[in-house]
Amino acid sequence: MIADEEFWRLVAVLGGRPEIQDEGPYERLTAMLAEEPVERIIGFAETLAYTLYQLDRRVLAQAVFPGADRLSDDGFLYARCAVVVAGPAAFAAVLADPAAFARFTTVEAAHADSILDVPSNAYQKATGREWEHVEEYDYETGSNDQWW
């Protein structure tokens, strides 16, 4: 993993607006990481996975539709990506108050899942090889047993 400050500095390249449908910021972040050593690309992927894993909580999945079971697995993952793209203040706010998560579940925020492709695209651009790395933390919905 990379240090939190470095991770959030890199994420800031995305502009903190998960509703933006422009792929340009994701391409810029990919290009920046592709210039880094492979270990940093992997470190970014590991930190991203861990950050998404921390947001994998039943209470967040249920925050939007009280009484409903939860969001779809993909919808919940994309909303968590939107929180990450929004930055460290949004991340802290959602962990402190699950009600803050609702604003990240909009259709407009669904484009934030592009952050998931950044490490693999950067790796492929840097090395010319396919990404085969598997992160230590599984960020798929329901993987964080402690919070489900």
Work out the widest C-alpha separation in the chain, in whole angstroms.
48
Tens of pLDDT, residue by residue over 47-98, are 999 999 999 999 998 876 555 555 788 889 999 999 999 999 999 999 999 9
**What integer pLDDT is reported at residue 74 of this predicted model?**
87
- Classify residue 67 as left (phi > 0), alpha (psi -120 to 50) or beta: left
pTM of the model: 0.93
- Please name the residues in contact with 145: beta carbons below 8 A apart, sequence gap of 6 or more: none
Tens of pLDDT, residue by residue over 3-25, are 999 999 999 999 998 888 888 99
Q: Burial, 16: exposed, middle or buried (Cβ in 10 Å; 0-12, 13-18, 19+)?
A: middle
Mean pLDDT, residues 122-131: 98
**Count of beta carbons in the 10 Å neighbourhood of residue 42:** 19
Residue with tokens 């990481």: 33
Please work out, in degrees rounded to the nearest 5, the angle formed at the alpha carbon of residue 42 by the alpha carbons of 41 and 44: 65
